[in-house]
Structure 1
Amino acid sequence: MCVRCGPWLWWCSTFLLLMTSMPAGGSMEGAAVTACGPYDSTRWWSLARWINITTRELTNVRHCQDLPMSAGQASFCSDDARLGFERTRVMARASLATTRECARQFADRRWNCPSFLSAEHANKPLFGEAVTRLHTREAAFLHALMAASSTHETAQACSQGKLSSCGCSMPDQAELSALYPNTSSSSSGPSIHDVITASSQRPSSAVTSAMVTERSLAKHKRVRPRCGDNIEYGVRASREFHRTIEVEQSDSSSPRCTARFSRTLMDRHNEEAGRQIVKRNTKLRCRCLGISNSCSTQVCWKQLPVFTKVGNLLMSRYRNASLMKLDRHGTRLVVRHALSRQPSSTDLVYLGESPSFCSDNAGLDIVGTSGRECRVSQDHTPDSCDVLCCDRGYRTVTDHTTTSCNCRFVFCCRVRCDQCETVRRRHFCR
């Protein structure tokens, strides 16, 4: 076919291959998508639109195929009718919890994490095109927070009996031994130390009742394990659900295909970071039983961190996220600047700088900061007018409100108050 190409044979054949895979109209878009395969890792986030905020139940759902999920996730949902809907409901709750926590974390910033939950935005990504199309810190944060939320919600659902595939989790002997090396796991059985060392004898350091002190009680207290949050199942289920998204790594050298694979690696790293932050902050909680102040017996269980704490930890990693690039072999991400610190497994990574978010951009679903309330200050915090308003200035609105004040009781049987006027000045970005 390419007889006259001579030394340009390879380039000619590549060009002809691209031309034959190009859609009518001459655009390279279709060829790139075909080469790389389908990839939509955020589609399932829209499950938040299908859940009733009051009852936290899925509404108007008959089949898993009706829900906004990839084909792999739909099969994950359909494997067992009852279990499938239970797991999907947990993921929908995780998505809704993410919208709330993200809005709380970014409330005072230029990008305030808007979520498009209403029916009129059904065709939009839950957090807009900016998160889906741009490889920024904001996208890194949301992927980590969503994975953390799915882990958190699943672990809680297990301990609350809301998932038929799992139950609560008991702390194991090693965890209790690490907390109290010389304690026993029950009031009558052998000590944890004995179990681990397979010794049939009590520790030789046991003391007589005459020598019992507050310190020795702390050393020889007995611990009873109690069922708690199942973090192991939560991590496993979250990882399984996220990995069911079909991502085809192609050998194509198309820039779009390379960018897509880079984004896949970025998302996977950040999602795993979110899960690990939840897991590492799941602590063993104990409560004393027995005589006052002696604490001779304790009940211990695993307890998840409050989700707002997870959000705070991820927000600190958002501020210190690492800028990455694909290595020269095209197989993994490396830091873009040689002198930068290599990110750990719980750090966030991103591939491109964020836009300013100052002006509206309909294509990226960015609404800008015009009309946002700001705070007049000189400290250059994210919510200060000089930062939030992007040097456009601000307008001041003065509100006058009248409220009851200086209230006092008058004998007999009535309260008399003065009317006080309060003046409040509010500032809004132009």
Structure 2
Amino acid sequence: MGRPAAAAALLCQLGLSAAIQWLGLTKSGSGVAWNESQHCRLLAGLVPDQLQMCRRNLEVMHSILRAARQAEAVCQKTFREMRWNCSSIQRAPSFGPDLLKGTRESAFAHALAAAAVSLSISRACTSGEIPLCSCGSVPSEVPGPAFRWGGCGDNLSYGLQLGAAFADSPFKSSRRGTRALRAVHLHNNAVGRQVLSDSLHTKCKCHGVSGSCSVKTCWKGLANLDEIASDLKSKYLAAIRVTHRLIGPRKQLIPKEVEVRPVTETDLVYLINSPDYCTPNPHLGSLGTQDRQCNKTSPGSDSCNLMCCGRGYNTYTEELQERCHCKYHWCCHVVCKKCRRKVERYVCK
């Protein structure tokens, strides 16, 4: 079976639950030249509408590949001190149950991926990488007396438009999967893009004699994906478990528990509870925390008590070699010695 056929078969098997399979571009898209539409057929994890978008917008695929890489790296960085550390995202496009079902972790991953692709496209417009777009529009607000609008702002509008078309297409181009799961994924994608939109802020560059900053040139720029992920992590921790129920003329996402506040457009939502991720369970997508490093003195989620789930930990000593006793020599280099020091490490049993 060829790669496109295998990808199609996998999509049929997993249905809409694998809606962020396009993160697999980090593997299948890295060696692609992106100068012929037939290259799109080499990619695993794209639904038909995404393949069409690839063929029609080859110049955008560099940005989407970059978004996939950033989403994977930032997700793992954001959760590196928690039991679920997003390591399973590296399995794209063949995810496990933690990201295939409507879990809290899946909610975060979908929101982050949706924000990443819109952010990457927005900035590609600014850098001139995409011929069909350019700088963002000049803000309508009147500039202050000490600054003027200029520079090249991030093109959020184009990024949102094209990013939504790409990230949301798995839910709209197929009827596989439950309506509830489609609704949850679309909602969480929108939350990711909303957090991105809210991050747009004014950036300035000073002009003036001797750095006086008598005049500033300002533009609108977006936050980095690390900051977006930090905001989304807060929403992940406060995510609402929902059900998809008929309210009036249409079905809506409403809290599973009656005493929980109504769902808003800024809440991440999920359908099923997650495991505690303490012990390996492939059926639940849990890798367990055995052999994970913990922090003996931390009061947070990376503490040995929480990370090791009460099982205890082993201690070992590691010898590190570092630069030390550095001295600056005129002109113009620094000379350092090499020092060794021992540090204690703690690993979950």
TM-score norm. by structure 1 comes to: 0.68
Mapped pair 1:102 → 2:20 = no
Q: Is the 8 A contact 1:51 1:93 kept in 2?
A: no
Is 2:42 the partner of 1:66?
Answer: yes
CA positional deviation for 1:43: 2.1
Residues 323-402 of structure 1 mapped to structure 2, 5 A cutoff: 323-329=241-247, 331-377=251-297, 379=299, 381-400=300-319
Match of 2:178, SS? helix
Distance 2:230 2:102 in 1: 21
Deviations 1:241-297 (A, max 9, x none): 1232254797xxxxxx8x721111111111111111111111122334345687554
State the shift of 1:422 in Å: 3.4
Structure 1's unaligned 5+ residue stretches are: 1-32, 181-219, 251-256, 410-414
| 1:293–1:264 CA distance, 2 compared to 1 (3 A) | same
Compared CA separation, residues 104 and 408, structure 1 to 2 (3 A): closer
Matches of 1:287 and 1:326, distance apart in 2: 48
Out of 84, 94, 100, the residue aligned to residue 124 of structure 1 is 94
| Structure 2 equivalent of residue 274 of structure 1 | 192
Q: Is the 8 A contact 2:317 2:344 kept in 1?
A: yes
Q: Judging changes above 3 Å, is the alpha-carbon distance between structure 1 residues 57 and 153 closer, same or farther for their aligned structure 2 residues?
A: farther
289 and 388 in structure 1: CA distance in 2 versus 1, 3 angstrom threshold: same
Say whether the 8 Å CA contact 1:249–1:261 is kept in structure 2.
no
Alignment partners' CA distance in 2, 1:260 and 1:391: 37
More strand by share: 2
Deviations 1:353-410 (A, max 9, x none): 111111112345532111111112373x21111111112111111235677877899x
How far the C-alpha of 1:102 sits from its partner, in A, is 0.3
Residues 75/393 of structure 1: CA separation in 2 closer, same or farther (3 Å cut): same
Q: Deviation per CA, 1:172-210: give whole Å up to 9, x if none.
A: 3x22x2x53xxxxxxxxxxxxxxxxxxxxxxxxxxxxxx
Aligned match for 1:150, one of 102, 114, 117 = 117
Which AA in structure 1 matches 2:85? Answer: N
Displacement of 1:116 after TM fit? Answer: 5.8
Equivalent residue for 2:4?
A: none
Cα gap change, 1:78 to 1:290, in 2 (>3 Å): same
Please name the residue that 2:127 is paired with: 160
- Once the two structures are aligned, what percentage of the paired residues are identical? 29
Alignment match, 2:106: 139
Within 5 Å, which residues of 2 pair with 1:209-224? 220-221=145-146, 223-224=148-149
Q: d(CA) in 2 for partners of 1:378 and 1:227?
A: 43
Flag the 1:154–1:261 CA change in 2: closer, same or farther, 3 A.
Answer: same
Q: Secondary structure at the match of 2:258?
A: coil
RMSD value over aligned CA atoms? 3.4
- Distance in 1 (CA, whole Å) between partners of 2:164 and 2:327 is 61
Report the CA distance between 1:416 and its aligned residue.
11
Q: CA offsets per residue over residues 34-72 of structure 1, 9 Å max, x none?
A: 9x98664122121121344xx997699943122120011
Is the CA contact (8 Å cut-off) linking 2:136 and 2:153 kept in structure 1? yes
Contact 2:29 2:43 in 1 (8 A): no
| Cα deviation 1:118-153 (Å, max 9, x = unaligned) | xxx67623xx33201x21111110000000101110
User: Quick one: structure 1 residues 160 and 115, their matched pair in 2 at CA, closer, same or farther if it must change by over 3 Å?
Assistant: farther
Flag the 1:268–1:404 CA change in 2: closer, same or farther, 3 A: closer
Structure 1's 403 and 112: CA in aligned 2 closer, same or farther, altered over 3 A? closer
User: 1:37·1:247 contact (CA, 8 Å) conserved in 2?
Assistant: no
Q: Which amino acid aligns with 1:231?
A: L
Counterpart CA distance in 1 for 2:287 and 2:35 is 30
CA contact (8 A) 1:38 1:248 kept: no
The amino acid that maps onto 1:397 is Y
Listed one character per residue, the Cα deviations across residues 313-352 of structure 1 (whole Å, up to 9, x for unaligned) are 1111111111211124571101122222223322211112
Gaps of 5+ in 2: 1-11, 329-334
Alignment pair present for 1:44 and 2:22? yes
For 1:212, the equivalent position in structure 2 comes to none
Contact 1:361 1:368 in 2 (8 A): yes
- C-alpha change, 1:245 and 1:396, in structure 2 (3 Å) is same
Normalising by structure 2, what TM-score?
0.82
CA contact (8 A) 2:168 2:189 kept: no
Kept after mapping to 1: 8 A contact 2:319/2:342 = yes
CA–CA separation in structure 1 for the residues paired with 2:267 and 2:336:
59
1:233 aligned residue (149, 158, 161):
158
Displacement after TM superposition at 1:159 (Å): 0.6
Secondary structure in 2 matching 1:332: strand
Query: Which deviates further from its counterpart, 90-99 or 40-49?
Result: 40-49
Q: Amino acid of the residue matched to residue 140 of structure 1?
A: A
1:114 counterpart residue number? 87
